[in-house]
Amino acid sequence: MTQEKNNSKLIAIITMCFIFAMISFVTNMGAPFGNIWGYTYPFAKAWGNMMNFAAYLFMGIPAGKMLIKYGYKKTALIALAVGLIGLALQYLSSIAGASTYVFTYQEIPVALNLIIYLLGAFICGFCVCMLNTVVNPMLNLLGGGGNKGNQLIQIGGTLNSLTATLTPMLTGILVGTVTAETSMSNVAPLLFIGMAVFAISFVIISRVSIPEPTLGKEQPKYERSPLAFRHTLLGVIAIFFYVGIEIGIPMHLQFYVTDLGFEGSAAVGGVIAGMYWILMMVGRATSSVISGKVSTSLQMIVVSSLAIALLLIAIFMPESNTVVYDGHDIPVKAFFIAACGICTSVMWGGIFNLSVEGLGKYTEAASGIFMTMVVGGGIMPLIQQEIASSVGNIASYWLVIGMLAYILFYSTIGCKNVNKDIKVD
């Protein structure tokens, strides 16, 4: 019986890690696709990313309630079905409504195909929100919480970073240089891959057994809100900033390199942005090895401090300092920005792990709140884009440094549970 239980647990862990990988594949379409739309609609570069993350604002708490009512498996299956619809709509934007104008924004006529794309991105946001709500508490639960729980989240995060690396790289290869003729039809193969992966994932997950700690049980009675815990409240803010950091760093890095304007700049920008995600994968793999021995708080303090240092170097380094890559002079500062991937790698799992520690029955409800705050991945890069349009992509990273300073505060002081008097069972 013990062996059977262990096998079931292992299958559940593998399944959750597989879902973790699917999340980033869809999420990271926003920045490279934004380059395509940005040629015709400069104001819309970050809109697709914003729509993807705006969905979290509406779906975060309902997704947490779905876990309690329907269980982890059924919630994941619903999410995958929704994701198929979202990707199909994004593909539809490549073949419909390119000359059908809906309204005018900033004196630029906006065509129907952009509206369809944004709707597809919004629906995909519902999908990844539900998947995120499933995978994080389940991996933390399967690991038994604490450092071991964080270790499993980092293992899943490693696969998440692998697929995140592929998205900008494949888009860059398919697009090459963004021109007036570039459209969503250029990246249709990527959308087909996404739809196929979701369909296959649906079949696999429907056939495996996943532990259901809340299904069939009476919904717990909450005497307090999860936000009554100070470390959870501050962690919610940290998650909001963190996702803005994670998405904003590579997004504006890709915009920066693409805007250099040489032939193939979009492809090179995709590769350099891909370096960021590769380093995230390396960081998560490393964290998955050491997290059983090194505290989450210490890891967070080190990486947030290092990220601040790397961005300060990038901001102050002269653009004339270049290296030759693929026959083109690329400012060295671009690679310092990409190096931040090693730092952001452990932040998502670390913040979540620290924030739900000691919550007991409040864990699922807190997970829904966390998913709502993932909207920061849409809001903060949009604010960064507004800053970049005024002072440039590199100077916009001062906003990221400010958010990293808050993460550093949370890692040192804010993560301490000072509300142990609240009953959690």
At a CB cut-off of 8 Å and minimum separation 6, what does 251 contact?
30, 31, 34, 46, 49, 273, 381, 384
Q: How confident is the model at residue 328 (pLDDT cuts 50, 70, 90)?
A: confident
Q: Is 304 exposed, middle or buried (0-12, 13-18, 19+ CB in 10 A)?
A: buried
Amino acid at 208: V
Spatial separation of the C-alpha atoms in residues 124 and 1, rounded to whole Å = 40
> Dihedral through CA 115, CA 117, CA 122, CA 125, nearest 10?
-170
Q: Residue 147 in contact with residue 296, Cβ under 8 Å? A: yes
* Res 214: pLDDT: 65
Per residue in 289-304, pLDDT (tens digit) is 887 788 889 999 999 9
Confidence (pLDDT) at 123: 95
Which alpha helices (H) appear in 228-324, and where do they start and end?
Answer: 230-258, 265-290, 296-316
Given this model, what pLDDT does residue 107 score?
A: 75
**Beta strand pairing call for 322-325 and 101-105:** unpaired
C-alpha distances in Å from residue 418, one per residue of 226, 232, 260, 298, 368: 13, 10, 50, 19, 22
User: What pLDDT does 1 receive?
Assistant: 45
pLDDT band at 384 (very low <50, low <70, confident <90, very high): very high
What pLDDT is recorded for position 49?
84
Mean pLDDT value of segment 6-25:
78
353, containing H or E segment: helix 347-356
Task: Determine the average pLDDT of the residues in 113-117.
Answer: 89
The percentage of the chain sitting over the pLDDT mark of 90, rounded to a whole number, equals 30
Q: Highest mean pLDDT range out of 152-156, 171-175, 254-258, 282-286?
A: 254-258
pLDDT band per the 50, 70, 90 thresholds, residue 220: low
For the chain, the domains span: 2-212+221-414
Instruction: Look at residue 295 in the predicted model and tell me its pLDDT.
Output: 87
Residue 375 pLDDT exceeds 70: yes
CATH number corresponding to 2-212+221-414 = 1.20.1250.20
**Contact between residue 127 and residue 268 where contact means Cβ atoms under 8 Å apart:** no
Residue 47's pLDDT is what? Answer: 86
Report field, pTM of the whole predicted structure over 0.85: no
pLDDT tens-digit map of 345-371: 889 888 988 998 888 878 777 877 887
d(CA 229, CA 357): 10
- Does residue 18 surpass a pLDDT of 50? yes
For residue 136, is pLDDT > 60? yes
pLDDT of 400 > 90? The answer is yes
In sequence order, what are the beta bridge partners of 109?
104
State CA 191 to chain mean position distance.
18
Say if residue 413's pLDDT is above 70: yes
Q: 16-25, 112-121, 145-154: which has the highest mean pLDDT?
A: 112-121
Q: Indicate the SS3 state at residue 263.
A: coil
Single out the residue of 355, 411, 362, 379 nearest to residue 236, CA to CA.
355
CA dihedral 142, 237, 337, 34 (to 10 degrees): 90
What is the pLDDT confidence band of residue 237, given thresholds at 50, 70 and 90? very high
Geometric angle at alpha carbon 215, from 213 and 221, rounded to 5°: 85
% of the chain with per-residue pLDDT over 70 = 94
Written as six digits, the tokens of 119 are 């709707």
